[in-house]
A and B are shown apart, each in its own frame.
Chain A
Amino acid sequence: MTKKMKKTRNRILIVLGIFVLLLVLSHLGILDPLPWWGRFLIYLVPYLMIGYDVLRKAVINISHGQVFDENFLMMIATFGAFGIGEYSEALAVMLFYQVGELFQSYAVGKSRNSIADMMSIAPESAGLVREDQTVEEVEPSEVPVGATIVVRAGEKVPLDGVVLEGSSFLDTAALTGESVPRRVDVGSEVISGCVNGDGVLRIRTTKAYEDSTVARILDLVENASNKKSRMENFITRFARYYTPVVTLGAVLLAVVPPLLGLMPFSDAIRRACIFLIVSCPCALVISVPLGFFGGIGAGSRIGVLVKGSNFLEAVAQADVFIFDKTGTLTRGEFRVVNVIPARDGAYDRDELLEIAAYGEGMSNHPIASSIRTCYGKNLELSRLSDAEEVAGKGIIVHLDGVELLLGNTALLQSRGITCEPCDQAGTIVYVAYHGHYIGCIVISDMTKDGAAEAIADLKATGVKRTIMLTGDRKEAAAAVANALSIDEVHAELLPTDKVFEVEKVLNDLHNNKGESGEKVAFVGDGINDAPVLMRADVGIAMGSLGSDAAIEAADIVLMDDDVRKIARIVRIARKTLRIVKQNIFFALAVKVIILVLGAMGLASMWLAVFGDVGVAVLAILNAMRTLGEDGKAK
């Protein structure tokens, strides 16, 4: 509780005591002999004690031309109650209002803190090593690039850098939501925000604090709640009309029925006061952003960064998920899965692999390194000469002066060599030596751990279509899609084709439905697919612990590249939306009911105050439920 809140609390307690005392006295009839002004004064003193700040603000705001302000409405309502002789009601309403306001700011403060705590990855200080080797604790923002810092066991790494001395395990839980320790040694790159496990590390900083991972993430999350969701915009617009309309209703209610002779003025004014109290839109205005804030907080706890309330809203409505294959559903690491010598038997398996490894000796393509890794022995590169890469086909090189071809069928055919076609899934490298086909090597990318689970889980949340896009061969793509049970595959695409495919899906959806209720999400590794990430309604990228390109282009970032988190963030987003809708509906319904009852003379002012602050508090408590959601399947 802040100082301000404690002061209000004490004031409330004192006035509450007085109020109870007055209630008892009036029940015992002790106040009865007093003239009306005597009783008025007795109630006026505690009323001013509890309500002076409301009155002060009301007056200031009127002088600034702010007529429909909450304080002003409370002032008019309680003055009205005094005017019709309901002294105790006037005091009670003001008291109850203050109790509600206090509780409201307490609840908001509490939820704000719990969200802030959850994202407490910001380091408090950095141990900077001075020239004379003494260590000084300074603000992380004061450490220059290239400086040496010391991180002791249990401390957070304050800035991105490279380990100079020491080795340790780093806990990345605060960044990724999973506490998987990562081993670091001399020369390893370390990322700020991780917690140092056991050893002491000396780190040379490679980035200033503002550019460090931790600062960038904090910035992202804070700015996330700046991007308003559609629902939030709707409510702000709604509030702009709601208050004046209800206030106008109150004026009409106070004036028209008495003039028509339907009821006395005092009765009409009492009903009008109820209108005024309920006219504040605070419950609505507060519960929507609070709900989204909680949802974004819940996401960041499982290592998913959502860059705006609007994206949380969109991912909840996403019906079509389009995946990039390499690096997203597969590891992007190639491995030799089969070595098949030609049927003539001129070379056996090992000889074929050795020749192929030499053929790929000069290349740094991932496929080349996978063949070399499989071969495993050192290469005498002096045996190679005249290497030439044929784009999109393969490599032509000379081994011991004899032409060696490695590549697809087209490359071999261009030299008039026929090969034995291989229909295994994966990338196939055909090898020809001395002008003859000698065999092929099958290389495949492994599907990621949990990729199948991720797709199944996503379907369990009710996602209608899953599509995979890839530049890879049809056979390889189909094998992956089958293993993961993905609905549709589009293979052999160039990067520009991917944008085209996504646009096609977007157009189909919007044409069929005629409205944009359904959204398309694209999931990529964020390296070559920035245009596609931007084009989709929601772009989800692999963060790989701080890849700038991914974090820039995407709307949602999976910090640990775990595709299983997609279904979880969908569940979190849906729950957030559900809670926000409940709040809007609940607050509006209560207000409308109280307005109707009030107009008919069936509601008391107490009920009206509940309709204002009570509803706000309930909406806040409801919004807080978003924080606890972890998105796991129930």
Chain B
Amino acid sequence: MKKSYKCEVDCANCAAKMEEAVLKLEGVKSARVNFMTQKFTLEADDDRYDEVLKAAVKACKNVEPDCEIEI
């Protein structure tokens, strides 16, 4: 499953770091933090999606505490 979420992030480098952090997570097939469209796209297996999404949001917050991802 692949889904997009609105994602508030202030700087381009932060977005790149968030993306890198999410890509390292287990179960993530693809991920993109798009600074220009302020969107976070995550692809993961259907049965584990919610779990992976939670971990991804946590990883983003870890790298950039000011980011907001609307789920």
A83-109, CB < 8 A from B: 104-105, 108
* Cβ proximity bits A310-326 to B, threshold 8 Å, 1 near / 0 not: 00000000000000000
B62/A64 in contact, CB under 8 A? yes
A226/B12 in contact, CB under 8 A? no
B12/A64 in contact, CB under 8 A? no
Q: Is A222 interfacial (CB 8 A cutoff)?
A: yes
Which among A64, A280, A289 is the interface contact of B36 at CB below 8 angstroms? A289
Please give me the residue from chain A that is nearest to B12 by CB atom.
A286
Known: A57-B65, A64-B63. A225 touches B34 (CB 8 A): yes
**Which residues on the A side are within 8 Å of B41 (C-beta)?**
226
Once the chains are docked, how many angstroms separate the CA of A281 from the CA of B12?
9
Query: Size band of the A side of the interface?
Result: 20 to 34
> Chain A's nearest CB lies how many Å from the CB of B63?
6
Known: A225-B34, A226-B32. A239 touches B16 (CB 8 A): yes
Which among B11, B16, B63 is the interface contact of A66 at CB below 8 angstroms? B63
Q: Is B66 interfacial (CB 8 A cutoff)?
A: yes
**Which residues on the B side are within 8 Å of A281 (C-beta)?**
13
B36/A105 in contact, CB under 8 A? no
**Which residues on the A side are within 8 Å of B49 (C-beta)?**
none
B interface residues, how many (CB within 8 angstroms): 18
**Which residues on the A side are within 8 Å of B37 (C-beta)?**
112, 222, 225
> Chain B's nearest CB lies how many Å from the CB of A226?
5
B16/A285 in contact, CB under 8 A? yes
B12-31, CB < 8 A from A: 12-13, 16-17
Please give me the residue from chain A that is nearest to B41 by CB atom.
A226
A286/B35 in contact, CB under 8 A? yes
A248-295, CB < 8 A from B: 280-282, 285-286, 289-290, 293
> Chain B's nearest CB lies how many Å from the CB of A291?
10
Please give me the residue from chain A that is nearest to B36 by CB atom.
A293
B66/A57 in contact, CB under 8 A? yes
Once the chains are docked, how many angstroms separate the CA of A104 from the CA of B14?
14
**Which residues on the A side are within 8 Å of B66 (C-beta)?**
57
A60/B65 in contact, CB under 8 A? yes
A290/B36 in contact, CB under 8 A? yes
B12/A282 in contact, CB under 8 A? yes
Once the chains are docked, how many angstroms separate the CA of A286 from the CA of B10?
11
Known: A57-B65, A61-B65, A64-B63. A225 touches B13 (CB 8 A): no
Once the chains are docked, how many angstroms separate the CA of A239 from the CA of B66?
21
* Cβ proximity bits B32-68 to A, threshold 8 Å, 1 near / 0 not: 1011111101000000000000000000001101100
* Cβ proximity bits A198-241 to B, threshold 8 Å, 1 near / 0 not: 00000000000000000000000010011000000000100100
> Chain A's nearest CB lies how many Å from the CB of B12?
4
Q: Is A171 interfacial (CB 8 A cutoff)?
A: no
Closest 4 CB pairs of A and B: A286-B12, A285-B12, A293-B36, A285-B13
Q: List 22 A-B contacts (CB under 8 A).
A: A60-B65, A61-B63, A64-B63, A64-B65, A66-B17, A66-B63, A70-B13, A105-B10, A108-B35, A112-B38, A222-B34, A225-B37, A239-B13, A239-B16, A280-B13, A282-B13, A285-B13, A285-B16, A286-B12, A289-B35, A289-B36, A290-B12
> Hey, which bits of chain B sit against chain A, CB under 8 A?
10-13, 16-17, 32, 34-39, 41, 62-63, 65-66
